[in-house]
Amino acid sequence: MQIGMIGLGRMGSGMVRRLLAKGHDCVVHDPQELAMTQTKKDGASVATSLQDMVRLLSPPRAIWLMVPAAVVDGVLADLLPLLTKGDIVIDGGNSYYRDDIRRSVELQASGIHYLDVGTSGGIAGQERGYCLMIGGEVNIVEHMRPIFLSLAPGVAIASRTPARLLKADEVNDAEQGFLHCGSYGAGHFVKMIHNGIEYGIMAAYAEGLNILRNANIGKLESKPKSDAESTPLRNPEFYQYDMDLPEITEVWRRGSVISSWLLDLTASALFHDPDLDAYAGHVSDSGEGRWTILAGIEEAVPMGVLSAALFERFSSRGRGDFSNRMLSAMRSEFGGHLEKIDALPTKGS
């Protein structure tokens, strides 16, 4: 099947290579000429402009956008005048689902079909495959099925759910790794919640491992603090462990209830850099976590873990520094408490 790909970043380039390996005809475009040169070597046809891409694709065209959410509207504004009735635009990035609903109406007015496809798999997706969460028209999803089947991991990526084995001949789309979730916006809505959950899982691993890393605090604070500003460590004898985090995460990978691909990646990172010296701890968020919290508020559902994980990312970027200084100022005002600078010593410091 022929498909155009706009955006050849970490995800887009890997998706093109996977599609090429599965026998599809890919026409690619990216502002970075080097990215296009590399995919051309892999077998893709290079379009030097959006006009060139539309010319190289046979109607009805299918064009996949793999660009940052912030630039999707700009790309669509340039692309739409070039398209003809019946063409298909797919947004595979991390757009806000409400933008999908708006865009679908705008494109429908010109006879253009639209799919929103939440795409998960990261840089490993080229080999492992991509989990695809799809929103849009049923018939257009079916038309694009060969592409989704090729991008998805396939049923063999995970053991089948035991109850499904009773229907061994009925492997459905979800088991293949892609799912039509509903009408316009549904794909990105599901991906939004997926990423909100991801924030929470990542935070749980990070916080738990931090407790393990500091399990030797009894050695480092063998003499209890005597000043009024510090709560002493009452039982230093209970915190005398020098934990080997690379080995702990490695053993957790095998048979543990908390084993996961994310834990696999965590174990790999710690093996290569046990103290994580290569990282500053400035954790970004691309929007999905915020939108997840907004949805939870509007649905009036509790989400203590997901919201805490998002706020911790804000804190990692220094956004809590002023409030911490404010706390110190208030303590000084009401109690004359002097600010005590007491950096916690840890392994590797």
- Which residues are known catalytic residues? 191, 198
DSSP 2: E
CA distance 253 to 259: 5
- Per DSSP, the three-state class of 311 is helix
- Convert 217-246 to b/e letters by CB count within 10 Å (16 or more is b): bbeebeeeeeeeeeeebeebeeeeeeeebb
Beta bridge partners of 113: 88
Strand order in the sheet with 2-6: 45-46, 25-29, 2-6, 62-65, 88-91, 113-120, 131-136, 178-182
* Maximum separation of any 2 CA atoms in the chain, in Å: 78
Please give, one letter per residue, the 3-state secondary structure of 171-202: CCHHHHCEEEEECCCHHHHHHHHHHHHHHHHH
The DSSP annotation for 9-43 comes to SHHHHHHHHHHHHTT-EEEEE-S-HHHHHHHHHHT
Tokens of 119: 């795409």
